[in-house]
């Protein structure tokens, strides 16, 4: 696979070393067990797969290339490059401006963009409507288009379905940039509809089968259908694609539910990206192997793929979702992001008595989503080791582990 030129401050000598060793020992990715580093006072498990994926590294390389190649020019990002605060804050510090927030709300007026300005399309892609607006201004939108190839693959699948007179049902978060972009592309080819979860799929299936009144459709799906959507005709032939960062098993379950209800169902394959799939399998592999007393997941709080890793972990172990090592307070407490309440919660004396019933020598699984820099993972690892000052040094542990 192609390698990318990303800034050194996103890299980690420790994490790179672990990943390189696992790749050398398991090039075909058949082993999803975690890497176990025994520091004596604490054992650290690192998931087999985590961190920057192909699409993220591609987006970062192109973004910094845009900055390097255009000194003195106005450089705009349509929205967040990826859902990681460290990456976005670094781009902002270099003079890049956001045109929209993650919900598509205007931050910098589009009227400020001139034809000679640089506009970077984020990894999530963008809508056809936004593309048309930028083209009308005269901006070259292709030069620094960082749309992930796996997202584009979903668009092609959607277009094929629409061309064959199927309605595209998109499993995704309705307000997410990627889902909005996919919906735009799918709607251009034919009828489209967004379903956010299994519960909504069940309701839609019951409406299709006639066991639930059609009047139940609008309260749930209003604003999530293509123009002129026909509740009867457009639900006869359907196919399912997904936002590339959803949970694979949930997308499959949604497809199965709708397949059983529809008159004609397109036999679409899973449209999850490889990194999301690998990260989820690696997380499950680590949890199934057992041994971890708790899990620390590192990443942006608005990152879909990271949030789904948290969901998976919470079903098995006490799980703590943190942005980076700065979520530890000086008093030793930890700020954890609750994905249900969408609020940060503080745990006092974390790893030294909290959570309760921690063994004398705990085992901690650390992982992250596809948008988290390895440097963040390293700093979290080192921060945890600070809580166990009697731990062995990193170099000696890595040397023994590699032998």
Residues marked active site are found at 178
Put residue 277 in one of left, alpha, beta given phi > 0 → left and psi -120 to 50 → alpha.
alpha
Q: CA–CA separation, 291 vs 296, rounded Å? A: 14
Residues facing residue 118 across a β-bridge: 75
Q: CA–CA separation, 99 vs 111, rounded Å? A: 10
| Sign of the alpha-carbon torsion through 95, 96, 97, 103 | negative
Comparing C-alpha atoms, which of 391, 403, 378, 323 is closest to residue 46?
378
The full 3-state SS of the chain, as one line of letters, equals CCCCCCCHHHCCHHHHHHHHHHHHHCCCCCCCCCEEEECCCCEEEECCCCCCCHHHHHHHHHHHHHHHHCCCCCEEECCCCCCCHHHHHHHHHCCCEECECCCCCECCCHHHCCCCCEEEECCCCCCHHHHHHHHHHCCCCCCCECCCHHHHHHHHHHHHHHHCCCEEEEECCCCCHHHHHHHHHHHHHCCEEEECCHHHHHHHHHHHHCCCCHHHHHHHHCCCECCCCCCCHHHCEEEEEECCCCCHHHHHHHHHHHHHHCCEECCCCCCCCHHHHHHHHHHHHHHHHCCCCEEEEECCCCCHHHHHHHHHHHCCCCEEEECCHHHECCCCCEEEEECCCCEEEEECCECCCECCCCCCCCEEEEEECCCCCHHHHHHHHHHHHHCCCCCCCHHHHHHHHHC
């Amino acid at each position: 696979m192609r390698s990318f030129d990303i800034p050194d401050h996103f890299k980690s000598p420790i994490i790179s070393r672990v990943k390189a060793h696992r790749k050398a020992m398991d090039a075909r990715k058949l082993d999803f067990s975690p890497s176990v580093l025994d520091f004596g006072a604490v054992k650290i498990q690192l998931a087999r797969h985590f961190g920057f994926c192909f699409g993220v590294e591609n987006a970062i390389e192109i973004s910094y290339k845009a900055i390097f190649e255009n000194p003195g020019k106005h450089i705009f990002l349509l929205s967040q490059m990826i859902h990681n605060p460290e990456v976005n804050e670094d781009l902002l510090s270099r003079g890049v401006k956001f045109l929209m927030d993650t919900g598509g709300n205007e931050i910098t007026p589009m009227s400020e963009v001139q034809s000679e300005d640089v506009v970077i399309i984020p990894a999530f892609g963008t809508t056809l409507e936004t593309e048309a607006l930028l083209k009308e201004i005269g901006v070259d939108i292709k030069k620094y288009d960082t749309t992930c190839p796996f997202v584009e693959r979903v668009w092609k699948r959607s277009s094929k379905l629409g061309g064959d007179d199927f309605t595209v049902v998109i499993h995704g978060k309705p307000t997410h940039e990627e889902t909005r972009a996919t919906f735009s592309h799918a709607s251009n080819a034919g009828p489209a509809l967004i379903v956010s979860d299994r519960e909504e799929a069940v309701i839609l299936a019951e409406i299709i089968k006639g066991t639930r009144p059609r009047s139940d459709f609008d309260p749930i799906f209003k604003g999530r259908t293509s123009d002129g959507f026909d509740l009867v005709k457009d639900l006869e032939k359907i196919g399912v694609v997904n936002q590339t960062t959803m949970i694979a098993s949930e997308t499959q379950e949604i497809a199965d539910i709708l397949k059983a209800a529809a008159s004609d169902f397109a036999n679409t394959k899973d449209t999850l990206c490889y990194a999301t799939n690998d990260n989820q399998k690696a997380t499950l592999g680590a949890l199934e192997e057992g041994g971890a007393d708790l899990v620390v997941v590192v990443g942006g709080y608005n990152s879909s793929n990271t949030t789904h890793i948290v969901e998976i972990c919470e079903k098995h172990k006490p799980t703590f979702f943190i942005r980076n090592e700065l979520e530890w307070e000086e008093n030793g407490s930890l700020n954890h992001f609750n994905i249900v309440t969408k609020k940060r919660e503080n745990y006092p004396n974390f790893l030294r008595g909290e959570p309760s019933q921690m063994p004398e020598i705990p085992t901690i699984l650390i992982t992250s989503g596809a948008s988290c820099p390895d440097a963040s993972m390293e700093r979290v690892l080192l921060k945890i080791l600070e809580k166990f000052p009697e731990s062995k040094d990193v170099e000696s542990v890595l040397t023994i582990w590699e032998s």
